[in-house]
């Protein structure tokens, strides 16, 4: 394996990657978040359910996991290699030609400009095996460490914080700790929406064991609604809060002096630094904008609760001081010895399904491989293991720097795999413009069209998608699980690791003769143990000799798994054993807290960006599910009532959100969740799914000095109101090309395409647009000039092919959706399209809350009014919340609001007015 064979003939494409199609149910792992839930897919994937035996979820799935079956269609899939033509169009090419072009292109750029002129940009959604081969090719054979990943935007601050404190990138705890803790502190984490199955574990602990939940967030999320104590902190205030906590723990004798003495270094000087940052609770209240009583309540609870887990996510990582925030949290756990013990640990919640696997492989530009860095010893060790001709000897460029180097023309060839940087990088317009300068721009993806591909990719390589590909992923608790194929690979799609291997071989490199993902995994496992001798935390030497059959049957297992072992360890560091040279954990003094940007008169608001419950990132998969689309269908900006008034923005209207980098037009949602001066917008919509909602274009590109992670949650911004003469919708059997002066967003609907629109188009222009889209003579139409309404439908053989409705205020499309789903419409149904009323009972159920059973807010409110006061009672009565449970926090909120007899602000973004 290590010696490598001679490169095969240039036109040999490895055949070893045909995915097995299962006739029986297949156990696999969910492709979405870092919880890493086990799933079971029935033959043909008609059904995807939770795996009762998987220790991450014990059968539970959230709304996204439950809808997996709906997202497996081949619409929009990239099935063949494609090449950009002179006229800008794409044409199919065969694999031989595509691989030759990639290999020769990379070779040409390296020969002319050196290895630093090429780069690969990877993703936490790739499998460990994909990552391994890409990393080996770049860092051992091409000789450049310009390999980075979207994890830079996601977990990089945690990686850097772990390395500083523990000497290695290790999550010390296990999910069981969330069941066993007496206090769970969530910092910058909207777990109810982003790690729903873990959140349910936390809620069960709360119900059954009385654990307390503290949530620290800048916005009152659904997660915050469930907390015993919610600290609505000012952005960037986290370090001050945790420094202040350290000072408090010292002052009130809550430290574990033995642990500090035996296993750590640096406590005294860090305590001094913490006192400078947070001399008193009053000072902390100033710098965090929190009330002193709330701070004191949190500190008191923390001080007296030994079993405390502090779990953190993007509110911590995505900050220009993210690494310091991570260390400020870890300091408090080291100082109390609450680390790697049952129910007691700091706990980073990973974002993507395999962000951890990428970290283990070394897929970040500042690590070499298998938890080794660029010290001479490591470079030599990895060189010998790989038998590598040209080792990278220093760190490569991190994501944001990488795109800057592309813009400057220094990087000339780029290969993007499994990520959509034109949408997800900060200052995304600049990133997209940079791509246009590349001499060679390759994209490996599952889809034919996304904002990155449409930025001018020269060569598209079709990768196998979830359900087709096969390999391993690691979740937030260091648990390695198998993703297994249960669908045939469609078209000519291939695994990413096989594509990288073929390009490597065509570049003339030996050591890429992998026959299967198991082959790659064994080599990766062997490298982790190679001359390790306990020096490196990541050691899965026990898996280096798995047979193919054992790899196929591999059960979810936590690392480390040393040679001779098959079962790993659940927790680390309870008795020291850190991976720094002196084997001690390190206290790290954070810098004085501050944000990278200042507010100005022109940009007086802070723009926070993040996720919603039922969409995943740039929506390439969840965006295909009509069920998931019903939760929050449109891109929106959320703001508090005082800011809405100050800037003249109305709930349900539109707002232009602008920053120094770009602007978007979004539906305005006014709620009590946003404090004055702070607005929020989700990251999911792109140029594929909306006219003007690619939020990455608005985000400032300033990064953390240690991790290189951008501050994605606090860009200075301004909102201005926008009004359109008409808004409404189209339901069409075919995709529609809407003119530039129409604001639109595409919504997944069954058997067609839904568009929500708004515009000042003149009547004649609307009419022309409708005529073109209708493509039928069988049309019914209503034009009500007094009320300024416009509605109608076009039919072929009594089936509605196009339904539209336009009005000054956005009309509801519930009835139209129902009629659109019918094979034929009778006369009264036709007329009901125009009247908006029908004999059919279409209930106006309000905004959707429960995706699994399609239950809306009004029905839940009615059940509450009938005396059902718990989520389980409501589940029994109307099923809402009784399947995946992702909506339970929202149901609880409705119960709470109605008990308080207040009115609820709902999450609706539809802007549909009754």
Ligand X SMILES: Nc1nc2c(c(=O)[nH]1)N[C@H]1C(S)=C(S)[C@@H](COP(=O)(O)OP(=O)(O)OC[C@H]3O[C@@H](n4cnc5c(=O)[nH]c(N)nc54)[C@H](O)[C@@H]3O)O[C@H]1N2
* Cα 577 to Cα 190: distance, rounded to the nearest angstrom: 32
Instruction: Choose among ligand SF4, Mo ion, ligand X, none what residue 496 binds, the Cβ cut-off being 5 to 8 Å by kind.
Output: ligand X
Q: Which is nearer to ligand X, 353 or 585 (CB)?
A: 353
Task: Select the binding partner of residue 57 from ligand X, ligand SF4, Mo ion, none (C-beta < 5 to 8 A, by kind).
Answer: ligand SF4
- 757 contacts which partner out of Mo ion, ligand SF4, ligand X, none, CB within 5 to 8 A by kind? none
Segment 13 to 72, residues that bind ligand X, using CB under 6 A: 33, 64
- State in angstroms the smallest separation of the CB of 687 from ligand SF4: 25
Inter-residue contact 21 to 28 (CB < 8 Å) = no
Interacting stretch for ligand SF4, rule CB under 6 A, among 178-186, 189-197, 291-299, 663-671?
Answer: 189-197
φ, ψ for residue 501, nearest 5 deg: -60, -40
Nearer to ligand SF4 by Cβ, of 33 and 118: the residue is 33
Smaller CB separation from ligand SF4, 35 or 668 = 35
Q: Give the tokens for residue 665.
A: 């037009």
Strands 636-639 and 663-670: parallel
* ω into 560 cis (within 30 of 0): yes
Spatial distance between the Cα atoms of 371 and 167, rounded to a whole number of angstroms: 10
Partner interacting with residue 37 (select from ligand SF4, Mo ion, ligand X, none; CB below 5-8 Å by kind)? ligand SF4
CB closest to Mo ion, residue no:
351
What's the min distance (Å) between Cβ of 845 and Mo ion?
33
Q: Which of 22, 205, 288, 314 binds ligand X (CB under 6 A)?
A: 314
Question: Contact between 178 and ligand X (CB under 6 A)?
Answer: no
Strand partners, 148: 121
Query: Residue 197 interacts with ligand SF4 (CB under 6 A)?
Result: yes
Which pair of tokens denotes residue 424?
A: 């997800």
Answer yes or no whether residue 887 interacts with ligand SF4 by CB under 6 A.
Answer: no
Q: With contacts defined by CB under 6 A, how many residues of the chain interact with ligand SF4?
A: 14
Q: Which of residues 19, 123, 146, 671 is near ligand X by CB under 6 A? A: 123
Q: How far is residue 502's CA from residue 460's CA, in Å, rounded to a whole number?
A: 15
Beta bridge partners of 212: 183
With binding defined as CB under 6 A, does residue 758 bind ligand SF4? Answer: no
Based on the shown chain and the rule CB under 6 A, indicate whether residue 504 belongs to the binding site for ligand SF4: no
Residue closer to ligand X by CB (options 287, 727) is 287
Query: Is 125 a binder of ligand X (CB under 6 A)?
Result: yes
Nearer to Mo ion, 124 or 716 (CB): 124
Residue with Cβ nearer Mo ion (355 or 658): 355
If binding is defined by CB under 6 A, does position 420 make contact with ligand X?
yes
| 64 contacts ligand SF4 (rule: CB under 6 A) | yes
- Return all residues near 592 (Cβ < 8 A) that are at least 6 apart: 277
Stretch that binds ligand X, among 200-208, 311-319, 630-638, 668-676 (CB under 6 A): 311-319
Q: Kindly state the tokens that stand for 704.
A: 């953390």
Q: Judged by CB under 6 A, does residue 417 bind ligand X?
A: yes
Please check whether residue 410 is in contact with residue 117, taking contact to mean a CB–CB distance below 8 angstroms. yes
Binding site for Mo ion (CB under 5 A): 154, 351
Range 767-826, binding ligand SF4 (CB under 6 A): none
DSSP 480-519: EEEE---SPPPTT-B-HHHHHHHHHHHTT-SS----SHHH
Q: How many residues bind ligand X (CB under 6 A)?
A: 64
Among ligand X, Mo ion, ligand SF4, none, the one that 795 touches (CB under a kind-dependent 5 to 8 A) is none
Q: Is 36 in the site for ligand SF4 (CB under 6 A)?
A: yes
CB of 351 to ligand X, least distance (A): 2
Q: Which does 370 bind (CB under 5 to 8 A by kind): Mo ion, ligand SF4, ligand X, none?
A: none
Question: Which own/partner pairs from 337-341 qualify as long-range (CB within 8 Å, at least 24 positions apart)?
Answer: 337/256, 337/258, 337/259, 337/260, 338/256, 338/306, 338/307, 338/308, 339/172, 339/173, 339/573, 339/574, 339/585, 340/172, 340/173, 340/571, 340/572, 340/573, 340/574, 341/307, 341/571, 341/574
Give yes or no for residue 653 binding ligand X (CB under 6 A).
Answer: no
* Residue 467 lies near ligand X (rule: CB under 6 A): no
Tokens 């005529």 belong to residue: 771
Q: ∠823-826-828 over CA atoms, to 5°?
A: 135
Window contacting ligand SF4 (CB under 6 A); options: 135-143, 195-203, 699-707, 796-804: 195-203
Distances (CA, A) of 379 to 34, 163, 376, 393, 772: 30, 19, 5, 7, 63
C-alpha span between 772 and 857 (Å, rounded): 37
Which residues are CB-contacts of 376 (< 8 A; sequence separation ≥ 6)? none
Give the Cβ contact number of residue 409 at 10 Å.
13
Indicate whether 62 belongs to the interface with ligand SF4 (CB under 6 A). yes
Q: Residues near 98 by Cβ (< 8 Å), separated by ≥ 6?
A: 81, 83, 459, 461
Q: Which residues pair with 666 in a beta bridge?
A: 655
What CA–CA distance (Å, rounded) separates 824 from 303? 67
Give least dist CB 400 to ligand X, A: 11
Report if residue 746 touches ligand SF4, rule: CB under 6 A.
no
Least Å from the CB of residue 631 to Mo ion: 20
* Candidate residues 518, 695, 806, 894; the one interacting with ligand X per rule CB under 6 A: 695
CA distance 224 to 230: 6
30: contact with ligand SF4 by CB under 6 A: yes
Region at 785 (left for phi over 0; alpha for psi -120 to 50; beta for the rest): alpha
- The burial of 3, by beta-carbon neighbours within 10 Å (0-12 exposed, 13-18 middle, 19 or more buried), is given as exposed
The interface mask with ligand X, positions 717-756, x = CB under 6 A, is ----------------------------------------
623 near ligand X (CB under 6 A): no
Residue 499 as a binder of ligand SF4 (CB under 6 A): the answer is: no
How far apart CA 217 and CA 143 sit, in angstroms, is 42
Measure the N-to-C terminal CA separation of the chain; round to a whole number of Å. Answer: 68
Question: Judged by CB under 6 A, which of 341, 412, 613, 726 binds ligand X?
Answer: 613
For the bound state, the minimum distance from the C-beta of residue 628 to ligand X, rounded and expressed in Å, comes to 9
Q: List residues near ligand SF4 by CB under 6 A.
A: 30, 32-33, 35-37, 57, 61-62, 64-65, 195-197
């Amino acid at each position: 394996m290590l010696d490598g064979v001679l490169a095969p003939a240039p036109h040999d494409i490895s055949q070893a990657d045909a995915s097995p199609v299962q006739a029986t149910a297949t156990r696999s792992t969910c492709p979405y978040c870092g919880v890493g839930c086990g799933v079971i897919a029935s033959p043909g994937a008609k059904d995807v359910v939770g795996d009762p035996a998987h220790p991450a979820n014990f059968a539970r799935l959230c709304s996204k996991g439950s809808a997996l079956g709906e997202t497996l269609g081949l619409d929009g899939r990239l099935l063949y290699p494609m090449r950009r033509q002179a006229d800008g169009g794409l044409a199919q090419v065969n694999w031989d030609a595509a691989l030759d072009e990639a290999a020769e292109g990379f070779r040409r750029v390296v020969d002319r400009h050196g290895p630093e002129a090429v780069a690969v940009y990877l993703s936490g959604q790739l499998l460990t095996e994909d990552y391994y081969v890409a990393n080996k090719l770049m860092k051992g054979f091409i000789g450049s460490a310009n390999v980075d990943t979207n994890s830079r935007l996601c977990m990089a601050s945690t990686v850097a914080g772990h390395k500083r404190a523990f000497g290695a990138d290790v999550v010390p705890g296990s999910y069981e700790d969330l069941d066993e803790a007496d206090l769970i502190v969530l910092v910058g984490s909207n777990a109810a929406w982003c790690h729903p199955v873990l959140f349910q574990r936390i809620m069960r602990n709360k119900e059954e064991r009385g654990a307390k939940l503290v949530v620290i967030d800048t916005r009152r999320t659904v997660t915050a609604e469930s907390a015993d104590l919610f600290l609505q902190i000012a952005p960037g205030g986290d370090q001050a809060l945790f420094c202040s906590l350290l000072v408090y723990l010292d002052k009130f004798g809550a430290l574990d002096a033995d642990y500090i003495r035996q296993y750590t270094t640096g406590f005294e000087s860090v305590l001094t630094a913490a006192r400078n940052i947070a001399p008193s609770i009053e000072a902390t209240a100033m710098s965090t904008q929190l009330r002193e009583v709330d701070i004191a309540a949190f500190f008191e609870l923390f001080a007296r609760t030994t079993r405390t887990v502090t779990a953190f996510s993007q509110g911590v990582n995505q900050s220009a001081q993210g690494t310091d925030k991570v260390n400020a949290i870890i300091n408090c756990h080291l100082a109390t010895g609450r680390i790697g013990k049952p129910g007691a640990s700091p706990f980073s919640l990973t974002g993507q399904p395999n962000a951890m696997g990428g970290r283990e492989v070394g897929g970040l530009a500042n690590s070499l491989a298998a938890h080794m860095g660029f010290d001479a010893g490591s470079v030599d060790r990895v060189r010998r293991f790989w038998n590598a001709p040209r080792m990278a000897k220093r760190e490569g460029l991190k994501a944001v720097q990488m795109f800057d180097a592309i813009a400057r023309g220094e990087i000339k060839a780029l290969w993007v795999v499994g990520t959509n940087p034109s949408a997800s990088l900060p200052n995304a317009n600049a990133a997209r413009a940079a791509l246009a300068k590349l001499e060679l721009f390759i994209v490996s993806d599952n889809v034919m069209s996304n904002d990155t591909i449409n930025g001018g990719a020269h060569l598209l390589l079709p990768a196998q998608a979830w359900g087709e590909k096969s390999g391993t992923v690691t979740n937030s608790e260091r648990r390695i699980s198998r993703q297994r194929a249960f669908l045939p690979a469609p078209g000519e799609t291939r695994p990413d690791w096989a594509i990288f291997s073929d390009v490597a071989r065509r570049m003339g490199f030996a050591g890429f003769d992998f026959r299967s993902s198991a082959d790659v995994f064994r080599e990766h496992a062997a490298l982790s143990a190679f001359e390790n001798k306990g020096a490196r935390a990541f050691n899965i030497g026990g898996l280096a000799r798995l047979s193919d059959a054992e790899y196929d049957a591999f059960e979810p297992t936590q690392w480390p798994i040393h040679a001779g072992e098959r079962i790993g360890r659940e927790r680390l560091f309870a008795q020291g054993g850190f991976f720094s040279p002196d084997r001690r954990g390190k206290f790290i003094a954070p810098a004085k807290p501050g944000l990278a940007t200042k507010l100005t008169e022109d940009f007086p608001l802070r723009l926070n960006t993040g996720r919603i419950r039922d969409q995943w990132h740039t929506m390439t998969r969840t965006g295909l599910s009509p069920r998931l689309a019903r939760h929050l269908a449109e891109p929106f900006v959320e703001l508090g009532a005082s800011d809405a008034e100050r800037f003249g923005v109305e709930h349900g209207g539109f707002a232009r959100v602008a920053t120094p980098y770009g602007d978007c037009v979004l539906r305005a949602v006014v709620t009590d969740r946003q404090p004055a001066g702070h607005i929020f917008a989700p990251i999911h919509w792109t140029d594929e799914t909306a006219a003007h909602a690619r939020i990455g274009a608005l985000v400032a590109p300033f990064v953390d000095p240690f991790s290189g992670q951008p501050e994605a949650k606090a860009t200075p911004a301004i909102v201005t109101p926008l009004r359109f003469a008409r808004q409404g919708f189209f339901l069409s059997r075919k995709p529609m090309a809407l003119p530039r002066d129409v604001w639109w967003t595409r919504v997944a609907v069954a058997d067609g395409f839904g568009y929500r629109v708004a515009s000042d188009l003149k009547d004649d222009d609307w009419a022309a647009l409708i005529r073109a889209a209708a493509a039928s003579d069988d049309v019914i139409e209503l034009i009500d000039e007094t009320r300024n309404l416009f509605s109608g439908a076009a039919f072929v053989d009594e089936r509605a092919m196009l339904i539209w409705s336009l009005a000054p205020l956005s009309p509801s499309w519930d009835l139209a959706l129902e009629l659109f789903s019918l094979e034929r419409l009778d006369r009264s149904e036709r007329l009901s399209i125009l009247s908006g009323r029908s004999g059919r009972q279409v209930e106006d159920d309000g905004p959707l809350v429960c995706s699994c059973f399609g239950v809306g807010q009004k029905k839940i409110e009615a059940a509450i009014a009938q005396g059902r006061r718990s989520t389980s009672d409501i589940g029994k009565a109307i099923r809402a919340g009784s399947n995946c449970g992702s909506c339970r926090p929202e149901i609880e909120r409705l119960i709470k609001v109605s008990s308080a007899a207040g009115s609820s602000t709902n999450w609706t973004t539809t802007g549909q007015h009754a």
